[in-house]
A and B are shown apart, each in its own frame.
Chain A
Amino acid sequence: MRRLLLIAAGLLLCCGVVFAQPDATADVSVWVVSSIAVSTDQDLNFGTIVLGTPSKTVASDDLTNAARFLIEATSGVDVEIQLAPPSVLTNGSDDVAFANDQDPFTSPNSDGTAGSFMAGGAAANGGLVQTVGNALYLWVGGTVNLNGSENPGLYTGEYTVTATYTGL
């Protein structure tokens, strides 16, 4: 009998006594998003301006004349918008001043329905948007300011929009 007790004690000390076996489970997840793409749908057009006119503005929700960009990205993921407007429009050595003074306008639809102005205004680079149905349209306008000394002609510049996923 004593030998049996000693064997039992030895088993306890060497191997341990195991009791309950509860468990818990954690979900593991990743959200794979598609590549992001920005394309130009429409250029910003100030039309014809008569010399002597001090300025002309195209509002961002002027869907006919404002520049329109299409941002294609996975829905529900924050996309940071960076605006790089020109400071001047040029014609050879001549230029006219360009002011990036219009809040960008965004909409999930190409016709601007259900759209809204971006918070922070035109100067707010780094504003966040999200696509709906993997697409978002963004319009930008601006103002050209003339001083009366310009020569007649076509003045052009480039307005670049960059879209970047945040948190990736």
Chain B
Amino acid sequence: MHIERSVPGAILIFVLLLGTAVGNRLPAQQMQSEATAQAAANLIADGLTVINLHDLTFGPVLQNSGTRTVAIGDAVPGGAHAARFRIIGQVVHWSFFFITIGSFVDISHSPPAELTNGTNTIPFTPAAAYNNDPLNGNQPGGAVSMNPGGVTRVRFLGPNNTTGNIYVWVYGSIDVGDVPPGEYTGSYTITCEYGIGLF
């Protein structure tokens, strides 16, 4: 009986702490409405940015040459080069007993099914990976594979109340058939949803 009452109480206290912590980081103008959920949401939204650091390029490829793959670490100027995004957000986390709440990003993908040149097409099979290491996050060596067809939740790591980075690489393969010479292009979009949740 004692346990049943104490656990919900702990959760309620924790939520109140959450509101206080977020409110402390509001700029002066918004501090007038501190402790409201709406003010906290605005603060975090302002801090989330996604930058495209490099496009995905397969370079020159001989027609009818079959599969050409760009790997995560490929970075040849003018040739095979993986795309790289940088997601910048706020590192926020709290721990309470065995519960940790922190800031995360849900990363979803909109890859092209094919690269096009007029009515001609080349099939594209995407691949992606992320690295949220606060020290070496921009290195593909420690990256973790992610499913381009799904949503991947990634935590911002690092000291509390600092700027966190998550790097995302996009790469993959194409199947070059007997298509006319020329440049074939597509667009790969990643969308990030920033939030705070349980881990």
Contact = CB atoms under 8 A, between A and B. Distances in A.
Given A16-B196, A29-B183, A168 B41 contact: no
A18 B41 CA distance: 9
B13 to A, nearest CB: 9
Given A6-B12, A18-B193, A28-B115, A33 B62 contact: yes
A167 interface: yes
Given A6-B8, A23-B50, A25-B187, A32 B61 contact: yes
B56 A26 contact: yes
B56 A6 contact: no
A13 B14 CA distance: 10
B197 A13 contact: yes
Specify the main secondary structure of chain A where it touches its partner. Answer: mixed
A31 B194 contact: no
Contact of A29 (B58, B181, B193): B58
A32 B52 contact: no
A60 interface: no
Contact of A19 (B14, B60, B194): B194
B144 interface: no
Interface of A: 2, 5-6, 8-10, 12-35, 74, 77, 165, 167-168
B115 A167 contact: no
B180 A21 contact: no
A32 B182 contact: yes
Given A29-B183, A30-B174, A32-B176, A19 B76 contact: no
Contact of B79 (A2, A26, A167): A167
B189 interface: yes
B106 A18 contact: yes
Interface of B: 8, 11-12, 14-15, 18, 41, 44-46, 48-52, 54-63, 65, 68, 76, 78-79, 83, 85, 99, 101, 104, 106, 111-112, 115, 117, 122, 124, 170, 174, 176, 179-198
Specify the main secondary structure of chain B where it touches its partner. Answer: strand
A76 to B, nearest CB: 9
Contact of B60 (A13, A17, A31): A31
A24 B182 CA distance: 26
A122 B165 CA distance: 53
A5 B11 CA distance: 10
A12 B50 contact: no
Given A28-B55, A29-B57, A31-B60, A17 B185 contact: no
B184 A16 contact: no
A28 B185 CA distance: 5
A33 B15 contact: no
15 contacts: A2-B12, A16-B195, A16-B197, A18-B195, A20-B45, A26-B52, A26-B83, A26-B187, A26-B188, A28-B112, A30-B57, A30-B59, A30-B174, A31-B59, A35-B63
